[in-house]
Amino acid sequence: MTDHPQDDRVLIFDTTLRDGEQSPGATMTHDEKLEIAGMLDEMGVDIIEAGFPIASEGDFRAVKEIAERSQQAVICGLARANPKDIDRCWEAVKHGARPRIHTFIGTSPLHRAIPDLSQDEMAERIHETVTHARNLCDNVQWSPMDATRTEWDYLKRVVGIAINAGATTINIPDTVGYTAPVESADLIRRLIDEVPGADEIVFATHCHNDLGMATANALAAVEGGARQIECTINGLGERAGNTALEEVVMALKVRNDILPWNTRVDSTRIMNISRRVATVSGFPVQYNKAIVGKNAFAHESGIHQDGMLKNAETFEIMRPEDIGLTETNIVMGKHSGRAALRSKLKELGYELAENQLGDVFYRFKELADRKKEVYDEDLIALVHAGTDGESDRLQVKHLRVVCGTEGPQTATLTMEIDGAETSTEATGDGPVDATFNAVKQLFPHDAHLQLYQVHAVTGGTDAQATVSVRMEEEGRIVTGQSADTDTVVASAKAYVHALNRLLVRREKSGGDVAEVSYKDVS
Ligand code: KIV
Ligand code: ZN
């Protein structure tokens, strides 16, 4: 099954849950992965790379459940070039309506040196593993990792071998973000022209953003003949990330005059999924990020505002509505009821179960008591504020911090730990440090803080702060988030959110953290 697109169609292959999630710190919970996959499927993504099934029991379960639930998208799992990986991948995807196995091996001289294979030995391995995958599944993607640094003759040879062995999609990864647009287009064009059988299969492009050219390189590859773009929401991914889905989708839409290819993606869902991925991954979107950054549609200078009022096209090449950005407006006050909240959340793209709605409503009322104007962004922050539900073993109950120009600051904290309340007082270098020290006194742990970030949700001194923390313990990395008008309270809750997630990870792995990375060669 080649899934061959028509000439004007480009398939969108999203790898937020695999390449994105494998970037250190971007770990998502099982439920979050299912939710993101559901959103990708609904917005019209053609192929979802749901994970790397051999990596861990958790990855396997997530890929399997996503495959079983998917309504339209092809669900794909990643496998290294060995039968064990490929079998595990097939086990995970086989119950889906449209499964795909994606197998790969590093083909550049640097990558060949790791398993210490000669060119011929690697060629043999490629033939065997693609044949093995194809015997299991009629939809097989093969990638020569680090293709853009692989010798041309060898690349041509191995692409031919993979096609011969039955690969239906050949993906050309620019693994280290090294290529440039002219070269990217040329490489695909030459492969299609020179490799026998290349016109029967789909070529894909997979670009990393180390030189800031991932989107340009992906679009150039399409000009060269690629008909599948691999990308992630918000450009999430290791190092500088991958091609951003929102950038390629909007570039193809806005500049269809010179980039005459279409996708099936409903662009009005971009903003919602962008916010959700930022929250669950703990990787906030930079303010001036193309398409989804907070400032992407903000026009603050006087000249811009004047022009915008006369004609929005003066400074805008796309409309905010095209990506699902509704105008920031004051939504509700403290007298608004549950039904109004439900309908406002629906408008923002959130359909919550009754118990979740009850919880958000309770926190909305608390917020409306403290904050004059509650904006859409405030509600979104409330929906995503860090708790994973009643199973949370640790909870912040009361916090009082005494600050002054002369330190140290003192935090008095009461927490509920496994149902029992306990209190302490701690000092620190600043209110957040004092608070984190207090948490550590009540719940001693060896996890260390890798990242602490604060963002104001809206303007004004009464704005809510969203706080993200990333913590690491014995190789397990988790993130926690929370939002509150009080930055220190939000910090305490985000820290405790991360600790709760760490406890879940500890229990699930039973102390075993030996997860496999796709970089581990075997
Ligand atoms: O960047 C890369 O080469 C990859 C492969 C596994 C496709 O992510
Ligand atoms: Zn990659």
The 10s digit of each residue's pLDDT in 125-157 is 999 999 999 999 999 999 999 999 999 999 999
Cβ atoms within 10 Å, residue 349 = 18
* β-sheet bridge partners, residue 471: 449, 478
Q: Which residues pair with 141 in a beta bridge?
A: 102, 169
Confidence of residue 309 (pLDDT cuts 50, 70, 90): low
Amino acid 476: pLDDT: 82
Best probe residue, ligand 1, of 104, 142, 228, 242 (max atoms within 8 Å of C-beta):
104
pLDDT at 513: 47
* 81 alpha carbon – ligand 2 mean position (Å): 16
Gap between the Cα atoms of 154 and 169, Å rounded: 18
Q: Determine whether the shortest distance from the Cβ of 175 to ligand 1 is under 6 A.
A: yes
- CATH no. for 11-281: 3.20.20.70
For the sheet containing 420-428, what is the strand order?
394-402, 409-417, 420-428
Q: Minimum mean pLDDT among 39-48, 237-246, 286-295: which range? A: 286-295
144 lines ligand 1 (CB under 6 A): no
CATH superfamily membership of 394-507: Alpha-isopropylmalate synthase LeuA, regulatory domain (3.30.160.270)
Q: Is 455 near ligand 1, meaning CB less than 6 Å away?
A: no
User: From the CA of 173, how far away is ligand 1's center (Å)?
Assistant: 6
Asked if 246 and 222 count as a contact pair (C-beta separation under 8 A), the reply is: no
- The pLDDT score that the predictor gives to residue 80 is 98
Kindly indicate the confidence band of residue 300, based on its pLDDT and cuts at 50, 70 and 90: low
Tell me the CA–centroid distance for residue 232 and ligand 2, in Å: 10
Mean pLDDT, the chain, as a whole number? 90
Q: What is the pLDDT of residue 347?
A: 76
pTM higher than 0.75: yes
Q: How many residues does the chain have?
A: 522
DSSP codes joined into one string, 53-67: TTS-HHHHHHHHHHH
| Ligand 1 near 145 CB (within 6 A) | yes
Instruction: Tell me the pLDDT band of 302, cut-offs 50, 70 and 90.
Output: low
Q: Is 188 helix (H, G, I), strand (E, B) or coil?
A: helix
Of ligand 1's listed atoms, the one at least distance from the Cα of 242 is: 1
Give nearest CA residue, ligand 1 atom 1.
Answer: 175
CA-wise closest residue to 78 among 105, 96, 116: 105
Structure-model confidence comparison of residues 516 and 123, the more confident one: 123
Q: Which two tokens stand for residue 420?
A: 């029992």
Please tell me if the CB atom of residue 518 comes closer than 6 angstroms to any atom of ligand 1: yes
User: Residue 208 CA: which ligand 1 atom is closest?
Assistant: 1
pLDDT digits (tens, 9 = 90+) for 375-433: 777 888 788 775 665 568 999 999 999 988 887 899 999 999 999 999 999 999 999 99
Which ligand is closest in space to the CA of residue 169? 1
Residue range 83-108: mean pLDDT, rounded: 98
